[in-house]
Amino acid sequence: MLGLNRNDFLMLLFVFVLVAAAPIFLNPFPEGSTFAQFNAGYPDLMQRFLIFGIFAIGFNILFGLTGYLSFGHAAFLGAGSYAGVWMLKLLTINVIPAIVVSTIVAGVFSLMIGYISLRRSGIYFSILTLAFAQMSFALAASVLTPITGGETGLQTTLSDPRILDGAAAGTGNIPAPSLFGLEMGHSWKVAVGDWLWTFNVGYYLCAFVLMIVFYISIRIFRSPFGMMLKAIKSNNERLSYTGISPRPYTLAAFVISGMYAGLAGGLMVSMDPLAGAERMQWTASGEVVLMTILGGVGTVVGPVLGAGIIKYFENIFSKINDGLLEQWFAFMPDGLADFMVTIVHPFVGKGWHLSLGLMFMLVVIFLPGGLVGGVTGLFRRLFRRRSH
């Protein structure tokens, strides 16, 4: 179905159900309960799950298939963000031009950077991409201030011309990004018993886009083009003695993944019309590498999972403070409760990086195929044992 084999189609269906029902199962705890802190079903965070999922899916097309490790992909996300905000400022508050143009701008930008960086491979390629991204970051924060808004960032204002739907100056308030009048921030709240579910317009736009680009990525993985990319990772030199020129293949993969990053940037500003230079910084480039490795390099669904886990840690674990810990351990005797709080304290709140780091180390050491690789390996072993 849809040009996919049975397993791929089932996986697509699985991701569809997951994404469509996320507002429900990401809020497993009733409002106001002890563990409501772990609920992730609020629009802002859910949008980020999907946007970074798209970013990581694209990154995986380059890194997972060809093995070329780019350390500068945040530059394309940043370029896409700026392009998107400019569309919202100049053209219309409708998000569609913003999303389309940000993808195209990132594509052109990645064509230029990729053309130069791909003259080298291995660590030199990584360093070149890192250098370009840091250069973009520094330029965006300083000399390019007229285009990027410098350190304060770029955002929509009252004085924007917006040639398609008229300036907002007359009405006195800055319009919110919308899809043909339907505002991205609009939500429907549904209360079932003590549970509260939020269905957000922006989230479902992101979900729609993610499903399309996830489908495209599966098609790329299963195409002759995708096979050539895997061959580049496996034995680049042999490929040229086979009559294939590896360079256009790696460049095409680089541009496709750059466009995915730009698309993620475009969606980001469609949800919140603000773009800052820090989005291009090397930490942002490193984050997508972590997401991809954590979920499973070269697996189709791994990057989405990795993106979700890292964003969950960043937003949920970081909010657990000592007050909450004391509340949770209140049922224990005083001394023991204090002891538990002291033990858990470094791993949560501001220490969330420690938990994430430990988890990352465990995955890299014990599950070299990432979480998805580990789970499929486990299933294969169980299945084999049963069939004997």
We find the least distance from the C-beta atom of residue 384 to another protein, in angstroms, to be 16
Closest of 150, 134, 146, 142 to residue 70, by C-alpha = 134
Query: Which C-beta is closer to another protein: that of 234 or that of 342?
Result: 234
φ, ψ dihedrals at 274, nearest 5°: -145, 130
Which of 95, 106, 209, 252 lies at the binding interface for another protein (CB under 8 A)?
A: 252
Q: How far is CA 77 from the centre of its chain?
A: 10
Provide the angle, in degrees to the nearest 10, between the axes of the packed helices 43-66 and 302-315.
140
Q: Is 240 in the site for another protein (CB under 8 A)?
A: yes
Which of 222, 324, 328, 349 lies at the binding interface for another protein (CB under 8 A)?
A: 222
Q: Is 69 in the site for another protein (CB under 8 A)?
A: no
We find the least distance from the C-beta atom of residue 172 to another protein, in angstroms, to be 48
Residue 137 burial (CB count, 10 A)? 22
Query: Which C-beta is closer to another protein: that of 117 or that of 217?
Result: 217
Query: Which C-beta is closer to another protein: that of 92 or that of 257?
Result: 257
Q: Is 179 in the site for another protein (CB under 8 A)?
A: no
The region of 48-56, 248-256, 258-266, 311-319 touching another protein under the rule CB under 8 A is 248-256
Closest of 359, 229, 223, 275 to residue 89, by C-alpha = 275
Provide the angle, in degrees to the nearest 10, between the axes of the packed helices 282-295 and 302-315.
120
We find the least distance from the C-beta atom of residue 61 to another protein, in angstroms, to be 9
Q: Is 231 in the site for another protein (CB under 8 A)?
A: yes
Q: Is 368 in the site for another protein (CB under 8 A)?
A: no
d(CA 72, CA 67): 15
We find the least distance from the C-beta atom of residue 224 to another protein, in angstroms, to be 5
Closest of 360, 361, 329 to residue 343, by C-alpha = 329
Which of 244, 274, 341, 344 lies at the binding interface for another protein (CB under 8 A)?
A: 244
φ, ψ dihedrals at 198, nearest 5°: -115, 120
Which of 7, 192, 241, 365 lies at the binding interface for another protein (CB under 8 A)?
A: 241
| Total interface residues for another protein by CB under 8 A | 31
> How close are the terminal C-alpha atoms of the chain, in Å?
32
Q: Is 226 in the site for another protein (CB under 8 A)?
A: yes
We find the least distance from the C-beta atom of residue 106 to another protein, in angstroms, to be 18
We find the least distance from the C-beta atom of residue 63 to another protein, in angstroms, to be 15
Q: How far is CA 127 from the centre of its chain?
A: 22
The region of 39-47, 77-85, 97-105, 216-224 touching another protein under the rule CB under 8 A is 216-224
Q: Is 304 in the site for another protein (CB under 8 A)?
A: no
| 109 contacts: CB under 8 Å, gap ≥ 6 | 75, 76, 79, 258, 262
Alpha helices in the chain (DSSP H): 6-25, 43-66, 74-90, 95-117, 122-141, 145-148, 201-221, 224-240, 246-271, 282-295, 302-315, 322-328, 334-344, 352-366, 370-387
Q: Is 238 in the site for another protein (CB under 8 A)?
A: yes
Q: Point out which residues bind another protein (CB under 8 A).
A: 3-5, 216, 219-220, 222-228, 230-231, 233-235, 237-245, 248-249, 252, 256
